[in-house]
Amino acid sequence: MRIAFISDIHGNILALEAAYRSLLQKGAEKIYCAGDLISFGPRPAEVIDFFITHDIETILGNHDATVIGKENIDGYVFKNDEERSYIIDSIERTAKDLTKLHFDYLYTLPEKIEVPECSLLLLHSVPDMVSYPDEKVISEYMKDRKHRFLFFGHSHIPRIYSTDNGKIAVNIPSIGKPKHGDPLAGYCIVEIKKKRLYDLQFTFCEYDIDKVRREITQRGFPLQTLKFLNYT
């Protein structure tokens, strides 16, 4: 079975649509998302609608949780006061774009998914949904858990970790808000056979980045949004 893992859409519907077309072309039979459907990007409601329509299984990300009041902004890691103010503004702006249907959907999302086809755990991040883990943290987290594989998002930087207890952790790239120096939409796809993972690939695909840039400026978002979305 080929399974695609996506994460951190952040209201970028055009990037999501492009990634979805790409992963279907690669033969993905199942899709899991590591959260953060909303915040920052110009079309958060449409992203949630897409998940509902296409029945994509997802967990709750820290931005999703903050918008619906399940997570406190004080738990975030900020570089400076400017970043804090910008993220608070983005969360408040996103909340105004959503309807009761969208809030109700976000309230139903779990904080983890166990993939039945193999010994795999999907989280937004570890040890909690707002932390940025390193190899030591990941090894410690996985040490006493039954799972052999951990997939997570949050940092937006694609990476594979081999822990000191012989387990594998995969940091899924971001679809809508990358941090690896390129605005292309990224995801991860793997082949699962007999509870083992094979042919793990990070894939990056193009979409109409200029259109997203125009939507951001036309809607009057702060220009910092372009920087946050890696468009400058």
**Domains of the chain, residue spans:** 2-110+170-228
Distance CA 125, CA 76 (A): 13
Distance CA 87, CA 75 (A): 13
Which amino acid is present at 84?
R
Pairing of strands 2-6, 120-123: unpaired
Q: What is the pLDDT along the chain (232 residues), one digit of tens a residue?
A: 999 999 999 999 999 999 999 999 999 999 999 999 999 999 999 999 999 999 999 999 999 999 999 999 888 888 888 888 888 999 999 999 999 999 999 999 999 999 988 999 999 999 999 999 999 999 999 998 999 999 999 999 999 999 888 899 999 999 999 887 788 999 999 999 888 889 999 999 999 999 998 998 888 887 777 776 766 5
Question: Quick one: 201 exposed, middle or buried, by C-beta within 10 A (0-12, 13-18, 19+)?
Answer: exposed
Which amino acid is present at 183?
P
Class of CATH domain 2-110+170-228: alpha beta
Strand partners of residue 193: 196
Three-state secondary-structure class, residue 151: strand
Distance CA 106, CA 111 (A): 11
Helices (DSSP H) in 125-208: which residue ranges? 135-143
Distance CA 94, CA 38 (A): 7
Q: CB of 204 within 8 A of CB of 182?
A: yes
Distance CA 104, CA 189 (A): 29
Phi, psi of 103, deg, nearest 5: -65, -45
The reported pLDDT for the residue numbered 232 is 56
The reported pLDDT for the residue numbered 181 is 78
The reported pLDDT for the residue numbered 220 is 83
